[in-house]
Amino acid sequence: MKTKNKLANALVMLTILIFVASCGSDDNNTAAPVEENKPPETFNLIAVADNEKDVDVRPTFSWEPANDPDGDALTYDIYLTDQIALLDHRNLSPYALYKENLNTVTFKATERLELSKDYYWRVIAKDEKGSSSASAIHSFKTRDLRIPNDAIIANAQFSERRDFTSVVFNDKIWVIGGRNNNLENLNDVWHSENGENWTEATTNAQFSARRGHTSIVFDSKIWIIGGYDNNSQYLNDVWYSADGINWTEASASAQFSGRRNHTSVVFNDKMWVIGGDRGASRFNDVWQSEDGVAWNQVTASAQFSSRNNHTVVVFDDKLWVIGGHDGNNYKNDVWQSEDGVVWNQVATGSLFNERVGHTSVIFDDKIWVVGGVAPGGLFNDIWYTSSGNVWKQVKNNVSFSKRYYHTSIVFKEKIWLIAGYDGSFLNDVWALE
């Protein structure tokens, strides 16, 4: 009987131990509740303010610091675009990502934005666990071209002139030849690192004094092509220099006929000569060369009319011809070509006024036209286009005089306007940005 009681007691104790062990095991295996990560709280943009106008092209962006409920460290991404659809927070386009992983709540743009353009921006706050929140979207419009009240220099060290050329070479602006106020042609060469202080590289270069020539930079050299000399000769010689001081003749008589008031550009790794005149005769032929010695005629008669005092630029991987004079009419038509052979008219009519002696440059991803002359008088207006067929005029007050036969180049993120003729021969230098 005692044995049975002992056995019963043992079974009870065993049951109790198993129960206790089971309870202990359950307590040890129960996972602690995981607290859900909370995203950063909403925050506001400060600058650039929503709908702000006339914003600098290198704006400073700032926003409130976002608060993270979990105390997580935060970083910020700036999204910036001219297409608001790319700023959907649920599907932000990588094409709109402007700056990422910032540890501050302010950022000054280091890359220049385009002029007179609408932009949209927002900021994304991110914690280190992958959660994020987005600010509202703000819009702003950048400023127009800035035109100073005063020239960089009103009377540069080089003499007053027109019908000269300018290039950018070795991080300097160069002024070459032209016609002075004594109606003499020149072959001096000047350069400047800042547009204000000018140094004469040579008073009398190896090429003859001339005006109405062209200059380009190709193969790490400055090239001089054609023009009109003091002997009333229409030239088709070609010269080059690696330093602006010593000049070598590549061709005394190139395959194209002697001419002045033509244009030259570098396109598809070749030098190009387009149009020009030989007195009353005007051309619409197109020539190219890989070395300045051998010139090949691309076409004897392009689709645009024969002309002189036009401009040519390279934009959007195409050649563009703008304005000029065809012997009968002043022009404001615009033509483009992908190969120099086939030319298509982009625009005509309701553009800037017809003109000659203007300048054209590529700046801010746009084509710009500055100044010129027509029977109605001189111009100092400034026009630009991103497409070639829609042109807009800069509305800011223009402080430089109306002029033609000046030069324009792009240097250190500015359009530089140099000398020309406004009724008097000029040697002023302006910087537009």
127-163 pLDDT, tens digit per residue, is 999 999 999 999 999 999 999 999 999 999 999 999 9
Q: Is residue 431's pLDDT more than 70?
A: yes
Q: Is residue 296's pLDDT more than 50?
A: yes
Reported as a single tens digit per residue, the pLDDT across 229-252 is 999 999 999 999 999 999 999 999
- CA distances, 22 to each of 11, 16, 27, 175, 419 (Å): 16, 10, 9, 96, 98
What is the SS3 assignment for 86?
A: helix
Confidence label for 30 from pLDDT (cuts 50, 70 and 90):
low
Reported as a single tens digit per residue, the pLDDT across 398-417 is 999 999 999 999 999 999 99
- Over residues 246-272, the mean pLDDT reads 98
- pLDDT at res. 334: 96
Q: Is residue 13's pLDDT more than 50?
A: no
- Over residues 207-234, the mean pLDDT reads 97
Picking from 302, 250, 296, the residue whose alpha carbon sits closest to that of residue 276 is: 302
Confidence label for 10 from pLDDT (cuts 50, 70 and 90):
very low
Q: Where are the beta strands (DSSP E) in 232-310?
A: 234-241, 248-251, 263-267, 270-278, 281-289, 296-299
Confidence label for 261 from pLDDT (cuts 50, 70 and 90):
very high
**Phi-psi region for residue 22, left (φ > 0), alpha (ψ -120 to 50) or beta?**
alpha
CA 140 to mean position of chain CA atoms: 20
- pLDDT at res. 351: 80
* DSSP H or E stretch at residue 2: helix 2-29
Q: Please tell me the total number of residues recorded for the chain in this structure.
A: 433
The rounded distance, in Å, linking the Cα atoms of 207 and 120 is: 53
- pLDDT at res. 45: 98
Q: Residue 271 phi/psi, 5° resolution?
A: -90, 140
Contact 371, 379 (CB under 8 A): yes
- pLDDT at res. 153: 98
Beta strand pairing call for 248-251 and 234-241: antiparallel
- Over residues 338-359, the mean pLDDT reads 90
The rounded distance, in Å, linking the Cα atoms of 32 and 174 is: 76
Burial 122-159 (b: 16+ CB within 10 A, else e): bbbbbbeeebbbbbebbebbbbbbebeeebbbeebebb
- Over residues 326-344, the mean pLDDT reads 96
Q: Is residue 270's pLDDT more than 90?
A: yes
- pLDDT at res. 350: 60
The rounded distance, in Å, linking the Cα atoms of 309 and 277 is: 9
- pLDDT at res. 148: 95
- pLDDT at res. 429: 98
Q: Is residue 18's pLDDT more than 70?
A: no
The rounded distance, in Å, linking the Cα atoms of 18 and 37 is: 39
Q: Is residue 15's pLDDT more than 60?
A: no
Q: Is residue 1's pLDDT more than 50?
A: no
The rounded distance, in Å, linking the Cα atoms of 103 and 99 is: 11
Reported as a single tens digit per residue, the pLDDT across 32-79 is 566 788 999 999 999 999 999 999 999 999 999 999 999 999 999 999
DSSP 8-class letter at 233: P
- pLDDT at res. 172: 98
Q: What share of the chain is helix, strand, coil (3-state, %, to 5)?
A: 10, 50, 45
- CA distances, 301 to each of 76, 268, 334, 340 (Å): 58, 21, 16, 11
- pLDDT at res. 35: 72
What share of the chain has pLDDT > 90, as a percent?
87
- Over residues 349-377, the mean pLDDT reads 93
Contact 76, 63 (CB under 8 A): yes
Confidence label for 80 from pLDDT (cuts 50, 70 and 90):
very high
- Over residues 341-356, the mean pLDDT reads 87
Q: Is residue 21's pLDDT more than 70?
A: no
